[in-house]
Structure 1
Amino acid sequence: MTSAAGSPNGPGQEDTTPAAHAAHVEKTLLQARELIESTVSLYRRRPDQSPPAPHTDVTALGEAVEQLVVGARHSVCIAITGTGAFEQIAREALTAMPVGTVVRVLCAPGVADCALAKLAHAPGARYEIRVSEADLRDIVISDGAAALVRAASGNAKGQATLVNDRAAVRALELLFAGAWSLGRKLDDHLALSPRLLGELTRIILERLRSGSTDEAAARDLNMSLRTYRRHVAEIMRELGASSRFQAGVRAVELGLLFD
């Protein structure tokens, strides 16, 4: 992160505020997008090179994921965006990770459960699991050298492609890292009440962060002032916050808000 004379941490010191962190993450994601786009352009200028073969069959997809996992020596990154064939394949692969491998799992809220939480205490690999609501694709990245990416929503169902180009894999790593930095720890996610994961909570937290008065926020949400303040008090209690400012900080830490 860059520092400035006006930084809240003082001249010459690194700005570690949530806003500065978010700006750094956004910059990283934009750089990753540019890298992906440049890689795609490079491939388009090389028509003589055959594109990687897609894997649409569940068996072939499972074999491809297994090959990446078994061959890993240092690290494996996996993003699971929903339920289905890839989720089952990824869960099976997670139980067979090489000893000593650092495994980072990023999953959508609908996939997060206690079964994944048990992996953190499993012997062998070192598991780190976070939950993210970011718009990701199903991904497996092995040692930063090879990856498997599922097709974006709307494309052929179940289609996935093996990627061996170092620049393309690096871009995927950057995208994963950006989403990872904003994700909440699985244990924190499982401890959250359904209220905190609701849309109304997110809207109220946004109003608190923007500095809206209770009267204005209640009017915008078409509820009485008393009802709005009751919601705020309940949210603060769920977050274990003693002030509205602390509630905002805690919400960012848990990935309920992106600053």
Structure 2
Amino acid sequence: MAGTLFELPTVGELEGTAPQGHAARVEQTLLQARGLIEYTVSLHRRRPATASGLTHMDAEGTAETLEELVLSARRSVNVALTGSAALVEGVLRCLVRVPSGVTVRVLCSPAAVDVAPARLRSLPAVRVFPHELCGIVVVDGTSAFLRLGARGAGDGRAAMVTDCAAVSTLQLLYAGVWSRGRKLVDHPELSPRLRSDLTRRILEQLRSGRTDATAARELQVSLRTYRRHVAEIMRELNATSRFQAGVRAVEIGLLPKAP
């Protein structure tokens, strides 16, 4: 394909023009874009790599290809990081060597922040999205690195995407999710208490709407102990109500988004 099918808005333009009241519409667009990506990858897997604009690679070739792609940037590098430690470490090693003048944006899942919080905080433009992401690196809007392994797994399989339409779709998906991300400076440092399995189970009880007595029996703790834990969790989340605590828990990735 000789060129892109349409002109994509920049991330800044998208942020400045998308009304907040259109969140549902934006989310639907992102779901459609993701479906298109998955369809495109599936389609290209059945075609010769040289003709499809999609080149597959195993774990051995991933690091070298990723480095070459990032260091070739002349205008922009847009990154989406999952909780894969290998991907986070590999991308961060490359980003410190990006040529000056290149705009770098990093979008992380909460699990990715946990891998290297200090180094991520040293970067100028980092945001956190409360749900799991696909591992993506888009360079100059013309080529992209796409992680194909299962989420959170050590599978290092990946693909290099050079097809204009596919890269444009990835860029659009990234711009939409970036506009909904929380700035890293606003992402709380989670205490060990909030990371515990007991906290997750209590938050699930709160979200289910069970009474304190029922939840305490379910968790096999006393009613007094349960209420003390709830109060401590609310304080840690800086929440003034149980509803707000549930919302905050989803925002920072302690609970998955309700289906």
TM-score by length of structure 2 reads: 0.71
Q: Point out where structure 2 has 5 or more consecutive residues left out of the alignment.
A: 1-18
8 Å Cα contact 1:68/1:146 also seen in 2: no
The question of 1:150 aligning with 2:147 is answered yes
Larger relative contact order, structure 1 or 2 (CA cutoff 8 Å, min sep 6): 2
Structure 1 CA distance for aligned equivalents of residues 180 and 219 of structure 2? 27
CA gap 1:217/1:117 in 2 versus in 1, 3 angstroms:
same
Structure 2 CA distance for aligned equivalents of residues 185 and 235 of structure 1? 23
Please list the CA deviations of residues 93-118 of structure 1 after superposition, one character each: whole Å capped at 9, or x if unmatched.
Answer: 11123425141232524413212212
What SS class does the counterpart of residue 31 from structure 2 fall into? helix
Structure 2 CA distance for aligned equivalents of residues 177 and 203 of structure 1? 34
The question of 1:55 aligning with 2:61 is answered no
Structure 1 CA distance for aligned equivalents of residues 216 and 65 of structure 2? 54
What SS class does the counterpart of residue 49 from structure 1 fall into? helix
The question of 1:88 aligning with 2:93 is answered no
Match of 2:7 in 1: none
8 Å Cα contact 1:68/1:147 also seen in 2: no
The question of 1:140 aligning with 2:144 is answered no
CA gap 1:101/1:249 in 2 versus in 1, 3 angstroms:
same
Match of 1:225 in 2: 223
> What is the deviation of 1:167?
3.0
CA gap 1:217/1:77 in 2 versus in 1, 3 angstroms:
same
103-112 vs 55-64, which moves further: 55-64
Structure 2 CA distance for aligned equivalents of residues 24 and 204 of structure 1? 32
Note the 1:185-224 alignment, pairs <5 A: 185-189=183-187, 191-224=189-222
Query: Number of residues paired by the alignment?
Result: 234
CA gap 1:252/1:138 in 2 versus in 1, 3 angstroms:
closer
Please list the CA deviations of residues 40-73 of structure 1 after superposition, one character each: whole Å capped at 9, or x if unmatched.
Answer: 4653675693663333365663344333443241
Structure 2 CA distance for aligned equivalents of residues 156 and 227 of structure 1? 39
One-letter amino acid of the structure 2 residue matched with residue 219 of structure 1:
R
Structure 2 CA distance for aligned equivalents of residues 166 and 199 of structure 1? 44
TM-score by length of structure 1 reads: 0.71
The question of 1:169 aligning with 2:167 is answered yes
Q: Point out where structure 1 has 5 or more consecutive residues left out of the alignment.
A: 1-13, 121-126
Structure 1 CA distance for aligned equivalents of residues 203 and 176 of structure 2? 23
Root-mean-square deviation (CA, aligned residues, Å) is 3.5
8 Å Cα contact 1:148/1:160 also seen in 2: yes
CA gap 1:131/1:200 in 2 versus in 1, 3 angstroms:
farther
Please list the CA deviations of residues 115-151 of structure 1 after superposition, one character each: whole Å capped at 9, or x if unmatched.
Answer: 221223xxxxxx22426551x4432112332111123
CA gap 1:161/1:73 in 2 versus in 1, 3 angstroms:
same
CA gap 1:104/1:44 in 2 versus in 1, 3 angstroms:
closer
Match of 1:6 in 2: none
